[in-house]
Amino acid sequence: MTRIDAKFAALKSQGRKAFVSYIMAGDPDYDRSLDVMRGLPGAGVDIIELGLPFTDPMADGPTIQLAGQRALEGGMTLRRTLDMAQAFREEDDETPIVLMGYYNPIYSMGVDAFLKAAATAGIDGLIIVDLPPEEDEELCLPAQAAGLNFIRLATPTTDDKRLPRVASNTSGFVYYVSITGITGSAEAEAADVAPEVTRIQKASGLPVIVGFGVNTPEKSRAIAEVADGVVVGSAIVSRIAKGDSTQDVLAFVKSLADGAHAA
């Protein structure tokens, strides 16, 4: 059982929904992002999604694209991102960490070397948005053999014919992208999300966490009421971009987490 599996089991026993937060590793710099990351569990975050900066983030909107650029300009790399996770683990050996990004940096490092380094750093799961199920042998299957969850994205265009393929070899949870388009481009609507969550739960047998288009405590609660949890990224990253203090960023995160946990 991974930390992700254990977290969902604990939340289920408590009758609570999950709150997942996304931050970009190295944004605006290594020390600040590590400081924010260390404060997330105390702000109510159940699972941390740690963004891996990449030069061509095709699924991300301007907010996260710019965060990645700031991180890359500050010298952030895949190895430094894993160093950041390992530094977090020195103080927290319980909160799950999901590394979210694109395959190119992993391919460049080498899959075997990456998986060994990720396990050592305390990474629990991967979301690699540009590796479809047809490429499972590339990273998905080796990652699961190494004890990491491989988390897949489902979208409003994932029809009943495609869904079983998406669900195959997926573990930990399914990330439901609530809108068509890039991150930060529209708002999620609970009425639209609810039937899709039910459909994905039945097909996968896994918790379904909803992301994209969640940016307020009220929206966080509304989406969590119809899903197993909610993830917020762009709204948090935008606070960091504006120069909010770590304390203010974490206060905002707590308001979102409180919304999800009130569902």
Active site residue ranges:
49, 60
Rounded percentage of the chain residues whose pLDDT exceeds 70 = 97
Residue 159 belongs to what H/E stretch? Answer: none
Count of structural domains within the chain = 1
Three-class SS of residue 237?
helix
Is residue 105 predicted with pLDDT exceeding 50? yes
What mean pLDDT is predicted for residues 232-243? 96
What mean pLDDT is predicted for residues 4-17? 97
Is residue 185 predicted with pLDDT exceeding 80? no
Instruction: Decide if 149 contacts 141 (C-beta within 8 A).
Output: no
Give me the amino acid identity at 214: V
What pLDDT, on a 0 to 100 scale, did the predictor assign at position 61? Answer: 86
Q: What is the pLDDT of residues 114-142, one digit of tens each?
A: 999 999 999 999 999 999 999 999 999 99
- Give residues with Cβ within 8 angstroms of 19, minimum separation 6: 44, 45, 46, 47, 220, 224, 229, 230, 231, 232, 256, 257, 260, 261
According to DSSP, residue 151 is labeled: P
What pLDDT, on a 0 to 100 scale, did the predictor assign at position 181? Answer: 53
What pLDDT, on a 0 to 100 scale, did the predictor assign at position 115? Answer: 98
Domain that holds residue 115: 3-261
What mean pLDDT is predicted for residues 97-114? 97
pTM for the complete prediction?
0.95
What pLDDT, on a 0 to 100 scale, did the predictor assign at position 140? Answer: 98
Rounded percentage of the chain residues whose pLDDT exceeds 90 = 90
> 58-67, 122-131, 169-178 — which is least confidently predicted?
58-67
CATH number at 188 reads 3.20.20.70
For the chain, helix (H) and strand (E) counts, in that order, are 12, 9
Residue 22 belongs to what H/E stretch? Answer: strand 18-24
CA-wise closest residue to 217 among 202, 205, 235: 235
What pLDDT, on a 0 to 100 scale, did the predictor assign at position 188? Answer: 65
CA-wise closest residue to 148 among 114, 103, 178, 191: 114
For residue 156, CA distances in Å to 47, 168, 206, 239, 247 come to 24, 18, 18, 28, 36
